[in-house]
Amino acid sequence: MVKLRLKRCGRKQAVYRIIAIDVRSRREGRDLRKVGFYDPIKNQTYLDVPAILYFLEKGAQPTGTVHDILKKAEAFKELRSNQIKFN
């Protein structure tokens, strides 16, 4: 099973990458693909929305924090509109 989760980068200042990773891998393990970036200090977010939608359509589960980030960026609205087009 694939999850969308945060991977910590940076030593002193916490910066996170949003990655798609296998559930059995550790947090800092090898990821399948980098799909975004999150900086909580500057409150900046970069999302590769087509890649995120691809993994969500394939059944990937976002963690709680990633779910909140995607909800704030309204990525789920795009997922629903894509599902309506296909069905």
Task: Say if residues 47 and 19 touch (Cβ distance below 8 Å).
Answer: no
Tell me the CATH number for domain 1-84: 3.30.1320.10
In the chain, domain spans:
1-84
Dihedral of the alpha carbons of 25, 27, 30, 36, in degrees to the nearest 10: 130
Q: Is the pLDDT at 84 greater than 60, yes or no?
A: no
Dihedral of the alpha carbons of 65, 59, 34, 43, in degrees to the nearest 10: -30
pLDDT attached to residue 87: 45
Q: Which amino acid is at 22?
A: D
Q: Cβ of 24: how many Cβ atoms within 10 Å?
A: 7
Q: Provide the token pair at 60.
A: 């990937």
pTM of the model: 0.81
The pLDDT tens digits for 20-30 are 998 887 767 78
The pLDDT tens digits for 12-69 are 888 999 999 988 877 677 888 999 999 999 989 999 999 999 999 888 999 999 999 9
